[in-house]
Amino acid sequence: MRPTTKNARHQRIVELVSTHEVHSQSELALLLAGSGVRVTQATLSRDLVELEAVKVPAASGALVYAVPAEGGDRRPVAPTDSSAGRARLARLCAELLVSADATANLVVLRTPPGAAQFLGSAFDKAEFPDVLGTIAGDDTVLVIGREPTGGDALARRFLDMAEHPTYDPTNPITNPATNPATNHSLHNEERA
């Protein structure tokens, strides 16, 4: 459930143009309507200007809307699939994850000071269906799982990502849980 505020609408626009090839404002308005957000063409046009959205060539060659990336890189980023987001997350886990502790459906991830919000944002963009959301502070990310007792499995997955930056949970070859050749049991004590 989302509020109908301008910020919520902007966030939904960013999500849509980051995950869909949006060719026109009318196409974007239809996608917004499909997620319960009604907007006029004039409002949508202002939103796109405020978000600094531009049209860039997609992999297909067609021009699509894109918004600038977060962080220092302000170049517009064309839509990517969730596997690209997961690959990026795996690289960031390898670089930034210090430890992972779990209880019930919660996972507490520790990072170096100042890195938690960056890692939390990468988790949000990776779109794991079993992750409800994240909350990030300075050096801690709280990951909230959908399953009441799924915290341990999530923590193991994130530690596997840190140990295996090419990890893809959907690929049985790179997933240590399904490939005995790469299954190295990870425990929080071993990572410290």
* Kind plus residue range of the DSSP H or E element containing 110: strand 106-110
Lowest-pLDDT range, 26-35, 41-50, 74-83, 107-116?
74-83
Q: 120: how many CB neighbours lie within 10 A of its CB? A: 21
Do both 127 and 49 map to the same domain? no
Of 32, 52, 77, the position where a domain reaches its end is 77
Do both 31 and 100 map to the same domain? no
Task: Return the CATH number at 179.
Answer: 3.30.1360.40
Q: pLDDT, tens digit, for every residue of 122-176?
A: 888 887 889 999 999 999 999 999 999 999 999 999 999 999 877 555 555 455 5
pLDDT at 175: 52
Position 184 pLDDT exceeds 50:
no
Q: Which of 1-5, 83-87, 99-103, 125-129 has the highest mean pLDDT?
A: 99-103
Q: Please, are residues 21 and 79 in contact by the beta-carbon 8 Å criterion?
A: yes
CA 165, CA 36: separation in Å to the nearest integer?
37
Higher-pLDDT residue of 7 and 126 is 7
Residue 91 vs residues 123, 165, 172: alpha-carbon distances, Å: 12, 5, 18
pLDDT at 6: 92
Do both 59 and 88 map to the same domain? no
Evaluated on CA atoms 178, 129, 57, 70, the torsion sign reads negative
∠ CA 132-102-85, nearest 5°, is 45
Residue 49 vs residues 24, 52, 68: alpha-carbon distances, Å: 14, 5, 12
Q: Please, are residues 103 and 151 in contact by the beta-carbon 8 Å criterion?
A: yes
In the chain, how many domains are there?
Answer: 2
Is 57 a member of any domain?
yes
Lowest-pLDDT range, 26-30, 36-40, 130-134, 166-170?
166-170
Higher-pLDDT residue of 95 and 185 is 95
Q: In sequence order, what are the beta bridge partners of 84? A: none
CA 94, CA 182: separation in Å to the nearest integer?
16
Q: In sequence order, what are the beta bridge partners of 76? A: 68
Q: 55: how many CB neighbours lie within 10 A of its CB? A: 16
Average pLDDT for residues 81-85, to the nearest whole number?
Answer: 66
Half-sphere exposure of 21 (CA within 13 A, CB side): 8
Sorted by sequence, the CB contacts under 8 Å of residue 83 that are 6+ apart come out as: 168, 170
Domain span including residue 63: 6-77
Position 185 pLDDT exceeds 60:
no
* Residues of the chain above pLDDT 70, percent: 77
